[in-house]
C-alpha cells in the first residue's frame, strides 16, 4: 500500500511525462509543417521554370512558322523567276516582276521577324539555363533540409513511443482510485491537472487557498483539490530563489 505522498509523486511524474509527450508531438508537427513548406517552395519554383520553358517552346514554334512561311515565299519567288523566262508580253512581264517584288518585300519582313525571334529564343534559353541551375541547387537544399527534418521526426516518434510506454507504466503504479480521480480532473481542467501549492497559493490558478487546507495538505492523508480551479493540489515547500 503506497502512501498519498507516493501517489502524488506518481501523478507528478506522470504529468511531467505527459508534458514531454506534448512538447515532442508539437516538435513533430512543426517539422512536418516545415517539410510541407519546403515542398511547396520547391513546387512553386519548379512551376516557374516550367512556365519559362513553355514560353520558350512558344517562341520556337512561332519561329518555325515564320520559317515555313519564308520557304513558301522563296519557292514562289523561284517559280515566278522561272515564269519570267517564258512570258510573251511586256505587261505580263511587269506583272510578274511586281509580284516578285511584293513577295520579296513580304519575305524580308518575315526574315526580320525571324531574327528578332532568334534573339528572344537565345535570351530565353540563357534565362532558363540560369533558373534551372538555381532550381537544382534550391531543390537539393530543400532535400537536405527535408531529410534532416524527417530524421528528427523519426527520432521524435521513437521518443514519443518510449514516453507513452513510461506514461502507461507510471499510471499502472498508481492506485486505480487515484487514476480515476486524475482522469476526472483532467476532463474539467485545461493544462496541468496536478499542481503544487506554495505559500498558500495554488500554482495552477494562482489564487490563495485557505490556511486550513494548506495545513491539511502537509499531512498527505488524502488527495485534495484547489477550491478555485478544482485541480489536484499538493504541498510543496516554497522554493527560495
Residue closer to Zn ion by CB (options 66, 229) is: 229
Residue closer to Zn ion by CB (options 167, 192) is: 192
Q: What is the Cα–Cα distance from 179 to 115, expressed in whole angstroms? A: 84
- Please, how many CA atoms are within 13 Å of residue 220, restricted to the half-sphere of its CB? 11
Residue closer to Zn ion by CB (options 156, 233) is: 233
* Closest distance of CB 239 from Zn ion, Å: 18
**Which H or E run contains 224?**
strand 224-225
Q: What is the Cα–Cα distance from 203 to 8, expressed in whole angstroms? A: 15
Q: Is 232 in the site for Zn ion (CB under 5 A)?
A: no
Figure out which of the listed residues 16, 139, 175, 205 binds Zn ion, where binding follows CB under 5 A: 205
Q: What is the Cα–Cα distance from 62 to 65, expressed in whole angstroms? A: 5
Q: Give me the 175-204 binding string for Zn ion, x by CB under 5 A, dash otherwise.
A: ---------------------------x-x
Segment interacting with Zn ion (CB under 5 A) among 43-51, 62-70, 139-147, 223-231: 223-231
Size of the site for Zn ion (CB under 5 A): 6
* Closest distance of CB 229 from Zn ion, Å: 3
* Closest distance of CB 37 from Zn ion, Å: 40
Q: What is the Cα–Cα distance from 205 to 232, expressed in whole angstroms? A: 11
DSSP SS3 for 232: strand
* Closest distance of CB 210 from Zn ion, Å: 12
Long-range contacts of 123-127, Cβ-Cβ distance < 8 Å, separation of 24 or more? 124/52, 124/55, 124/56, 124/59, 125/56, 127/52
Residue closer to Zn ion by CB (options 196, 204) is: 204
What would you report as the CA-atom Rg of the chain, rounded to the nearest whole angstrom? 41
Segment interacting with Zn ion (CB under 5 A) among 30-38, 45-53, 142-150, 219-227: 219-227
Figure out which of the listed residues 229, 232, 234, 235 binds Zn ion, where binding follows CB under 5 A: 229
Joined grid coordinates for residue 35: 517539410
Figure out which of the listed residues 226, 232, 234, 235 binds Zn ion, where binding follows CB under 5 A: 226
Dihedral pair phi/psi, residue 203, rounded to 5°: -80, 0
Contacts to Zn ion by CB under 5 A: 202, 204-205, 226, 228-229
Amino acid at each position: 500500500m503506497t502512501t498519498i505522498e507516493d501517489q502524488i509523486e506518481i501523478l507528478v511524474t506522470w504529468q511531467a511525462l505527459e508534458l514531454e509527450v506534448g512538447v515532442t508531438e508539437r516538435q513533430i508537427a512543426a517539422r512536418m509543417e516545415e517539410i510541407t513548406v519546403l515542398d511547396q517552395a520547391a513546387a512553386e519554383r519548379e512551376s516557374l521554370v516550367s512556365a519559362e520553358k513553355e514560353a520558350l517552346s512558344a517562341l520556337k514554334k512561332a519561329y518555325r512558322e515564320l520559317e515555313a512561311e519564308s520557304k513558301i515565299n522563296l519557292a514562289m519567288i523561284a517559280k515566278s523567276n522561272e515564269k519570267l523566262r517564258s512570258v510573251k508580253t511586256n505587261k505580263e512581264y511587269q506583272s510578274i516582276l511586281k509580284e516578285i517584288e511584293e513577295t520579296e518585300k513580304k519575305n524580308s519582313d518575315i526574315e526580320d521577324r525571324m531574327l528578332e525571334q532568334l534573339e528572344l529564343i537565345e535570351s530565353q534559353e540563357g534565362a532558363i539555363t540560369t533558373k534551372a541551375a538555381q532550381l537544382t541547387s534550391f531543390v537539393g537544399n530543400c532535400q537536405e533540409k527535408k531529410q534532416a527534418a524527417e530524421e528528427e521526426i523519426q527520432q521524435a516518434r521513437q521518443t514519443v513511443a518510449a514516453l507513452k510506454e513510461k506514461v502507461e507504466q507510471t499510471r499502472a503504479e498508481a492506485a486505480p482510485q487515484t487514476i480515476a480521480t486524475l482522469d476526472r480532473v483532467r476532463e474539467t481542467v485545461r493544462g496541468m491537472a496536478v499542481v503544487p501549492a506554495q505559500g498558500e497559493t495554488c500554482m495552477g490558478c494562482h489564487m490563495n487557498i485557505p490556511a486550513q487546507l494548506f495545513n491539511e495538505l502537509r499531512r498527505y492523508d488524502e488527495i485534495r483539490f484547489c477550491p478555485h480551479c478544482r485541480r489536484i493540489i499538493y504541498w510543496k515547500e516554497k522554493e527560495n530563489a
